[in-house]
Structure 1
Amino acid sequence: MGISGLLPLLKPIQVNRHLSEYSGQTIAVDAYVWLHRGTYACATDLATGKKTHKYVDYCMHRVRLLKHHNITPYIVFDGGPLPAKKGTESDRKKKREENLARANALTAQGKHTQAREFYVKCIDVTPQMAYQFIKALRAENVAYVVAPYEADAQMAYLERTGTVDGILTEDSDLLVFGCKSVLLKLDAVEGTVISISRADFASMVSSAGGGISLLGWSDVQFRAMAILSGCDYLASIPSVGLKTAWSLLRKHNTVENVIRVLRIEGKKNVPKGYLQAFKLAEKVFLHQRVYDPTQQRLVHLTPIPDDEQWDEEKEAHVGR
């Protein structure tokens, strides 16, 4: 979920804030993050087919917490499966099935405490569960939208168009989508969040102690670093994490140069067709389809440039 290691790397610009600081603002919320967290308390019931609404109670408690601090929540749900994430979703499904099998085996042995650990890992939030949350939102007149594909791109679009002032999530991908204000790790007891502001990227100027400098870096470079290190749309080149990707881009400027140098050096195994796959992954971050609530139609996250050659492969990748 997100870019591995990105949040720890951005630790120097993370700021603890109280929800009261966002009074009067509209904040987009990743619904499935709350739904997944809400299943922890009732994972065994869900996995064994017992009726429960504890996950909805969990989500609505947080909705009311935001409203208590005069924040307008705008809940965003994932929609249909995105072709670009087919491999990632397949891997996740396989892991859930393996965890369910282990949980059932432990339950049969009477080891219920150990079984619960695996039940938690096997739960997948279903459209039916999301609908129960939607019904609760409707009952309290809370705004929501179901994205055509991913909530991440939809929330980025809502912020970009001024519909919302910030985004509450647990996913570092939002920063790669170009979001300006990302709130993480909501503490419902203390009413606090961790804030990352894109405006603070330039303050990361020291590469001492294993850190990185983002001073002078463009959105294009930041996005390239994230994709090179591995994302939901493209596996990384073996042994290339965030710091290595940053170092390579800093030295060679463009992804094309990086790939060419790595192939010449022969120290890292660059998969065949990697550059083409990289460009497709970048298109998903740039042009994934989203819903425009004002126009009430599907649009691209950012418009496709007039000189862009748009073909069937790209169209399928970003969502029809």
Structure 2
Amino acid sequence: MGISGLLPSLKSIQINKHLSEFSGQTLAVDAYVWLHRGIFTCPTELATGKTTTKYVDYAMHRVRLLRHHKIQPYIVFDGGPLPAKKGTEAERKQRRDENLAKANALAVQGKHTQAREYYVKCVDVTPQMAFQLIKALRAEGVPYVVAPYEADAQMAYLERIGLVDGIITEDSDLLVFGCRNVLFKLDSVSSTITSISRADFGSVTATEGGISLHGWSDSQFRAMAILSGCDYLPSIPGVGLKTAWTLLRKHKTADQVIRALRLEGKKAVPRGYLEAYKLAEKVFLHQRVYCPLDEKLVSLIEIPQDELWDSKQEAYIGG
């Protein structure tokens, strides 16, 4: 979930703010982030099929907290599975199944504390759970939208067209989608949240062995994130965030980085990696989203008319 190492690399521009500083704003919220957190309050009940609404209570407590500070929450739900994430989702399901088997085995032995640790790892948010939250949102008149595919792209679109002023998430992917104001680590006790503004990227410098984004374009930032490994494309073995940044500083573009790595022969570049990279980039740029204003499906960023697309590319972004 997100780009490994990205948030720590941006620590110098992370600002802790009180929710009151966002009074009068509309903030998009990744519903599944709050639902996943809510799962931690009732993993055993969910994994063993017992009825509970604790996960809804968890999310609605945070909805009311935002409203208390005169913030309008706009809740965004994930929709259908995106073809680009098929491999990632399959791996996650396998891990959940393995953890459920371990949890059940420990529960049979009476080791309930240990079993709970594995129940937490095996429970996932279901459409039925999302619907329970939607019913609670409707009851209190809270606006929401179900994305055709991923909430990340949907929230980025809502910010792009000005329907929201920022985004509450725990996923650093939102920065790669081009979002301007991203908020992390909501503390419901102190009513504080950590803010990252894209406008501050230029002040990120390579102190203490980190990365510098001074003078970097959105395209270069996106290339660094994808090359380091993302949900749509595993990284080249041995290429993490810092290595991707170093390579892009030297070779400028992802195409040149990949060609240089192949020529050097020091890292094993998978067959078809350049084509896979270009597909991953298209997902970050053009994924299908829902436009609440026109009430139709559109691309996050409109596909240029002179750009040729085949059926595989269309399907990959949710065509």
Same fold (TM over 0.5): yes
What letter corresponds to residue 49 of structure 2 in structure 1? G
Match of 2:249 in 1: 250
* SS of the residue 2:40 aligns to: helix
- Using the TM superposition, give the Cα deviation of residue 207 of structure 1 relative to its aligned residue in structure 2, in angstroms: 1.6
1:217-276 superposed Cα distances (whole Å, 9 cap, x missing partner): 000000000000000000000010000000000000011111111111111000000000
Distance 2:253 2:56 in 1: 46
Match of 1:262 in 2: 261
Q: Structure 2 matches for 1:7-86, cutoff 5 A?
A: 7-86=7-86
- Using the TM superposition, give the Cα deviation of residue 78 of structure 1 relative to its aligned residue in structure 2, in angstroms: 0.1
Amino-acid identity (%)? 75
Distance 1:316 1:157 in 2: 19
1:108-139 superposed Cα distances (whole Å, 9 cap, x missing partner): 11100000000001011000000000000000
Deviating beyond 2 angstroms after TM superposition, the runs of 4 or more aligned structure 1 residues are: none
1:298 aligns with 2:306: no
1:118-163 superposed Cα distances (whole Å, 9 cap, x missing partner): 0001011000000000000000000000000000000000000000
1:215 aligns with 2:252: no
1:86-129 superposed Cα distances (whole Å, 9 cap, x missing partner): 00000000000011001001101110000000000101100000
Match of 2:307 in 1: 308
1:229 aligns with 2:255: no
1:183 aligns with 2:192: no
Distance 2:85 2:49 in 1: 28
What letter corresponds to residue 199 of structure 1 in structure 2? A
Between stretches 161-170 and 259-268, larger displacement belongs to 259-268
Distance 2:2 2:154 in 1: 15
1:70-90 superposed Cα distances (whole Å, 9 cap, x missing partner): 000000000000000000000
Distance 1:116 1:8 in 2: 30
* SS of the residue 1:20 aligns to: helix
What letter corresponds to residue 111 of structure 1 in structure 2? K
Distance 1:303 1:208 in 2: 37
* SS of the residue 1:235 aligns to: coil
Distance 2:222 2:259 in 1: 19
- Using the TM superposition, give the Cα deviation of residue 10 of structure 1 relative to its aligned residue in structure 2, in angstroms: 0.7
Distance 1:242 1:249 in 2: 11
1:101 aligns with 2:97: no
- Using the TM superposition, give the Cα deviation of residue 208 of structure 1 relative to its aligned residue in structure 2, in angstroms: 2.9
- Using the TM superposition, give the Cα deviation of residue 209 of structure 1 relative to its aligned residue in structure 2, in angstroms: 1.2
1:159-201 superposed Cα distances (whole Å, 9 cap, x missing partner): 0000000000000000000000000000000000000000000
1:144 aligns with 2:144: yes
Between stretches 302-311 and 134-143, larger displacement belongs to 302-311
What letter corresponds to residue 141 of structure 1 in structure 2? G
What letter corresponds to residue 139 of structure 1 in structure 2? A
What is the RMSD computed on CA atoms of the aligned residues?
Answer: 0.5
What letter corresponds to residue 103 of structure 2 in structure 1? A
Match of 1:279 in 2: 278
Match of 2:203 in 1: 203
1:28-54 superposed Cα distances (whole Å, 9 cap, x missing partner): 000000000001010000000000000
Distance 1:255 1:128 in 2: 41
What letter corresponds to residue 228 of structure 1 in structure 2? L
Distance 2:305 2:131 in 1: 39
Distance 2:185 2:112 in 1: 29
* SS of the residue 1:96 aligns to: helix
Distance 1:62 1:200 in 2: 27
Q: Given the two structures, how large is their TM-score scaled by the length of structure 2?
A: 0.99
Distance 2:157 2:79 in 1: 15
Match of 1:123 in 2: 123
Q: Number of aligned residue pairs: give it.
A: 319
Q: Given the two structures, how large is their TM-score scaled by the length of structure 1?
A: 0.99
Match of 1:168 in 2: 168
Q: Could you list the runs of 5+ residues in structure 1 that have no partner in the other structure?
A: none
